[in-house]
Chain A
Amino acid sequence: TQLLEQSPQFLSIQEGENLTVYCNSSSVFSSLQWYRQEPGEGPVLLVTVVTGGEVKKLKRLTFQFGDARKDSSLHITAAQPGDTGLYLCAGAKGNQGGKLIFGQGTELSVKP
């Protein structure tokens, strides 16, 4: 059973376009993290959100945690080829911060 549904799985866009990746669940998470992973490397943390309704901005990336802490989104404005990679959302439940539940990932390709 996949507790975190991430969509879309694949996204191919042109440089300059905007995009949104969604991460949904029927479960409540105490925190949610977004990572970006390059082939053959470990995931690199982008952001951690812990408060329902929280919005965090990181340059052209905007992260939102749902009010009920069951869903999250990642919005990228004016995508660049350097944004290409695998984006992963991961949630932690209760005090189990050391056990992350991952979504399936979104493979993003930004063409120049």
Chain B
Amino acid sequence: KAGVTQTPRYLIKTRGQQVTLSCSPISGHRSVSWYQQTPGQGLQFLFEYFSETQRNKGNFPGRFSGRQFSNSRSEMNVSTLELGDSALYLCASSHGHTQYFGPGTRLTVL
């Protein structure tokens, strides 16, 4: 089976812009979770989608949003970008207890 894929791999934006990141889960996985990884805070949970519904949400401002499509592919959107949003954004799909991560999208906000 193909693994979790994320596009794009790298992105450079300026403050105030918005960005959309995409994630395709492993075939058959219905749950997709998003995480933000920074050197200072480590890996932090953003949200989880299951069957097109948000099932869990982390402690991030409303500028961070997501959605899931009927084919389980997911997108996350960050509006009004801030410098502190620079991070590696990771998507994971899960089956049972275990999550499998994609390679991530490196977002740099200038």
Contact = CB atoms under 8 A, between A and B. Distances in A.
B22 interface: no
B76 to A, nearest CB: 14
Interface string B86-110: 0010101010111111111010000
B90 A42 contact: yes
B104 A42 contact: yes
B54 to A, nearest CB: 10
Interface stretch (B12-20, B41-49, B77-85): B41-49
A48 B89 CA distance: 22
A30 B96 CA distance: 11
A50 B31 CA distance: 19
A98 B50 contact: yes
Nearest to A105: B42
Nearest to A42: B101
A58 to B, nearest CB: 14
State the majority secondary structure of interface residues on B.
Answer: strand
Nearest to A40: B106
Interface in A77-92: 88, 90, 92
Contact of A50 (B4, B32, B97): B97
A45 B56 contact: no
B103 A100 contact: no
A59 B102 CA distance: 25
Given A42-B92, A92-B97, 17 more contacts: A31-B98, A33-B99, A40-B104, A40-B106, A43-B43, A44-B101, A45-B98, A45-B99, A48-B97, A48-B98, A96-B56, A98-B56, A99-B56, A99-B58, A100-B92, A100-B99, A103-B42
Interface of B: 4, 6, 31-33, 35, 42-45, 48, 50, 55-56, 58, 88, 90, 92, 94, 96-104, 106
